[in-house]
Amino acid sequence: MKKILLILLVISLSLSCLLIAAEQHIFDIKHYRRAYFAHDILQVTGKEYFELESITNDIFIYLRGKAGDEILESNFNQREILHMRDVQVLFKYGFILKYIAIILSIGLIIYFVLIGETKLVGKWIYKGLFVNLIFIGILGVMIYFDFTKYFTYFHYIFFTNDLWLLDPQTDLLIQMLPEEFFSSMATSIGLSFLGFVATIQGIGYAATKKGREKNEKGFKLFKKGSQR
């Protein structure tokens, strides 16, 4: 039972790091501002800088579930709006999963600390999260060699229709958010994810050292007591 809870902790911590990293960059207006110029989005869309930023902020509000389709209607066509509905639902479940993962992680850590297994939980956090390096490494290689292929697979997995197949000649959404934008976004999310994981691993390692020192001190005191 204890091992199952520890595995669950590693999974929940990994999910927490991934979803927090994704939210951090997806809703970072600076990333979009850089993209406006890096991918010639102003020229492609025929929009002014302030218009693009306003539309981007509307998208943020919509994805957070704080507005309905009406916030998109002045800039996007019906197919784009229908796709954004699907994306909004995906984000809704993503937010829920993030909070569940965070609460579960905190709850499990508190449980192991209370039962006196600080060293054990630290060891699992430190060593268990290394699996994410393998995950990111494999994903990084896949994206590097053929981002389009795996980005398409992503859509097949998370969407049940073909509304995501937009026309770059006519649809503003794909003009504003071309594939190159998502490629750079994925890289940024991956790097932040690794940063969060490394930080938590550091805390886990510190917990194993702390637990070891306490055990060693306790052992020495016990030996001194027995000699008396």
60-85 per-position pLDDT tens digit: 999 999 999 999 999 999 999 999 99
Contact between 193 and 17 (Cβ < 8 Å)? yes
The pLDDT assigned to 135 comes to 86
Task: State the CB neighbour count (10 A cutoff) for residue 124.
Answer: 24
Radius of gyration from C-alpha coordinates of the chain: 23
The whole-number average pLDDT for the span 18-41 is 95
Q: How far, CA to CA in Å, does 131 sit from each of 1, 97, 107, 197?
A: 21, 20, 22, 10
Say how many domains are in the chain. Answer: 1
Answer whether residue 142 shows pLDDT above 90.
no
Q: Which residue range(s) make up the domain with 218?
A: 2-227
The structure's pTM equals 0.87
Answer whether residue 204 shows pLDDT above 70.
yes
CA dihedral 194, 39, 173, 75 (to 10 degrees): 130
